[in-house]
Amino acid sequence: MNTHLHDMSPLIDMTRRHATGPVRRAHPVYVDLLPPCNNACPAGEDIQAWLGLAQAGRYRQAWETLVRDNPLPAVHGRVCYHPCENACNRAELDAPVGVHAVERFLGDLATAEGWTFEIDADPSSKRVLVIGAGPSGLSAAYQLTRMGHTVEIHEAGPLAGGMMHFGIPAYRLPRADLMREIQRIEAMGVKIVLNHRVEDVESEMTLGQFDAAFIAIGADVSKHVDIPARDAVRVLDAVSMLHDVGLHDVGTGEAPLLGRRVIVYGGGNTAMDAARTARRLGAEEALIVYRRDRAHMPAHGFEADEALEEGIKIKWLTTIKEIVGPNLTVEMMALDAEGRPQPTGQFETLTADAVVLALGQATDSGFLRRVPGVAFGADGAVVVDANMMTGYPGLFAGGDAIAGEKSVTISVGHGKKAARHIDAWLREVHYEASPKAPIVTFEMLHLPVYSDADPSLQRTLEAARRISGFDEVLSGLDAKAARYEAQRCLSCGNCFECDNCFAACPETAILRLGPTHGYRIDLDLCTGCAVCVEQCPCHAMAMVPERPVAAGAVP
């Protein structure tokens, strides 16, 4: 896979007559197009580039390429919902490349080998405050430090990681793996101040002599719904429950006591995590109640599958109307033509020892309301402009603090984007992202009709063993399997030097430039037959029309 391709044609007069034939009307050029995996990654990773290095066994370089965009590969290899794989062209051939598995391998290898981050720039003398040590704050701090700025994170909680630590269960993200990646960021010079809740942003910036600040607080406030309740069983919200479990993991709190039968109300990923956690805390039965059907649930399909594997039951098209003691009155729902749930008037009684509400999260942004110029949208989301800056000069925001979809990977992408704009603001310049190249679709590829590269499989812990504790459910790949999986990449839109064009050219017009340097087309020999383009499996070549000959010029 070549990331340094050479198109020499712009340096040559491309309108000329071939010595033995008619005027050539078009000629081939090498192109760098956008693979769909890169385009789909919320963190903006150059996935194809680091997969190319991994498939060559150049793991250190692959990791260094990856962490230019994302400093938490071991985390993302475990918790990212990998939209890159949903977009992967290989899915049309057999199965997507297991990008997340290779990313996890590289992250774990970096920890095992003790690889460290490098700072790219000289010290700038500028200081930046980051409020919140979750994925967005850590990402911004990492990128800004690489740019030469001094960064300090102020975190309200007792541990860095935010919802990665207190919202994602340990069976998905072991705490030791999370903390090792955070410690690598600290080792590069990022200062993290724990148990420090920011109440007055302007004073905080003044006292700390910060030149800019980034708001990276998480969505750690549960949304509630009015359910009539009399002498109800224990009712708690999923965020608080998972937070308490996270504190218990590090020995600073008590795990919640839920009883034998637990009902979780909601249909998102947090609901699945809450029900699976309840089982691990000793509940004999865990039932998820959700008002819509599976096709309309916000949770990812594999999350529901894993919950069902662990014996959790899901009662679709059901809503809670009232709680009296241990009894819950629920109403059956029916979907209308638009897929919205409508009441049916049919009721049922369920019993539970505890009810966990998993109805979504919002951001507690109230402390920002005293900052002049800061505006708010729905659910307390902070309003930012295209540069991710609020109405207060030098105050930026991202991640869960602003409106939009929320995930660890989206937050990391926001942190990187904000860092670029903060850096530009500090240097009194304007940052403009480079325009994206066209995306390569499966139909644009020239692939064989068969496939002989089945995906690598990650082992999963047996369901019976899962509910006995918080051991990690999904295992990683070893070096051999990770390299094989990386080699399944089709290198969509970018040359990987397969030599198909070189071998196919009937005029020997294509010249090798050496490993990683691609090819050059000798236009004195090229007839424009397009055989090379038709033989390129990854659409890294295209035919372009000849420029017309100027009047009086010699063809």
Domains and CATH numbers, the chain: 9-32+494-545 (3.30.70.20), 36-116+446-487 (1.10.1060.10), 127-221+369-426 (3.50.50.60), 222-361 (3.50.50.60)
Cα torsion 210, 214, 217, 218: sign: negative
Residue 315, H or E segment: strand 313-315
* Torsion angle defined by CA atoms of residues 404, 407, 411 and 414, in that order, rounded to the nearest 10 degrees: -40
pLDDT for the residue numbered 13:
37
Tell me the three-class secondary structure of 133-190, residue by residue: CCHHHHHHHHHHHHCCCEEEEECCCCCCCCHHHHCCCCCCCCHHHHHHHHHHHHHCCC
pLDDT at 22: 62
Q: What is the arrangement of strands in the sheet containing 327-335, beginning at the earlier edge strand?
A: 229-230, 318-324, 327-335, 341-351
Burial of 405 (0-12, 13-18, 19+ CB in 10 A): exposed
Distance CA 292, CA 337 (A): 13
For the whole model, what pTM was predicted?
0.91
Q: Locate tokens 């956690």: which residue?
A: 277
Q: Could you tell me if residue 192 is left (phi over 0), alpha (psi between -120 and 50 degrees) or otherwise beta?
A: beta
The dihedral of CA 70, 76, 77, 81: what is its sign? negative
Q: What is the pLDDT of residue 2?
A: 39
pLDDT of residue 314: 97
| pLDDT value, residue 43 | 97
Please name the residues in contact with 206: beta carbons below 8 A apart, sequence gap of 6 or more. Answer: none
The answer to whether the beta carbons of residues 143 and 222 sit under 8 Å apart is no
**Cβ atoms within 10 Å of 16's Cβ, excluding its own:** 17
Exposure string over 101-110, b if 16+ CB within 10 A, otherwise e: bbbbbbbbbb
pLDDT at 378: 74
Q: Among 154, 164, 168, 172, which residue's Cα sits nearest to residue 72?
A: 164
Q: What is the pLDDT along the chain (555 residues), one digit of tens a residue?
A: 433 333 433 333 333 444 455 678 999 999 999 999 999 999 999 999 999 999 999 999 999 999 999 999 999 999 999 999 999 999 999 999 999 999 999 999 999 999 999 998 999 999 999 999 999 999 999 999 999 999 999 999 999 999 999 999 999 999 999 999 999 999 999 999 999 999 999 999 999 999 999 999 988 888 878 888 878 889 999 999 999 998 887 777 788 999 999 999 999 999 999 999 999 999 999 999 999 999 999 999 999 999 999 999 999 999 999 999 999 999 999 999 988 999 999 999 999 999 999 998 888 888 999 999 999 987 789 999 999 999 999 999 999 999 999 999 999 999 999 999 999 999 999 999 999 999 999 999 999 877 788 999 999 999 989 999 999 999 999 999 999 999 999 999 999 999 999 999 999 999 999 998 999 999 999 999 999 999 999 999 999 999 765 444 443
Q: What is the per-residue pLDDT for 14?
A: 37
Instruction: Supply the pLDDT for residue 16.
Output: 44
